[in-house]
Amino acid sequence: MGGIPFGLDDLRHCLLSIAPVELKGMGLLRKQPHLISGTARLPRETLVEAVTELVAYTGRCAAAVRQLANLTPIPLLNVSVLEFGV
C-alpha cells in the first residue's frame, strides 16, 4: 500500500507540539503549593476567577470527549502505520 508513512513517533511529535493550556488555578498552585492546605490567603476575586476557569475548562474537555466518542470512523486508505506493518 502506497501513501503517507505515519509512525508512532510522528504522532508523538504532533501531540507534543501542541502548546499546553495555561489555567490561572494551575498557575496559582504551581507558585503557591500551600494553597491546597488552605493556609494561603488569596483575594476572593482571584480564587473565584481561577475556580470558574477550571470548571469551564473541565466542561469543554468533557464536551470534546463526548464529541470524539460519537465520531464515525473514517478509513485512511492512503496512510501507512509502520508500527503495524501496514
Quick: pLDDT tens for 43-54. Answer: 889 889 999 999
State the residue range of the domain holding 15: 4-84
Q: What is the pLDDT of residues 60-85, one digit of tens each?
A: 999 999 998 998 887 777 777 777 76
pLDDT at 40 over 70: no
Helix, strand, coil percent values for the chain (each to nearest 5): 55, 5, 40
Cα maximum dimension of the chain = 62
Of the two residues 28 and 1, the one the predictor is more confident about is: 28
Of the two residues 39 and 33, the one the predictor is more confident about is: 33
Q: Residue 5's Cα: distance from chain center in Å?
A: 26
Number of domains composing the chain: 1
* DSSP H stretches of helix in the chain: 8-16, 24-31, 44-69
Place of cell 502505520: 81
Q: Other C-beta atoms within 10 Å of 82: how many?
A: 12
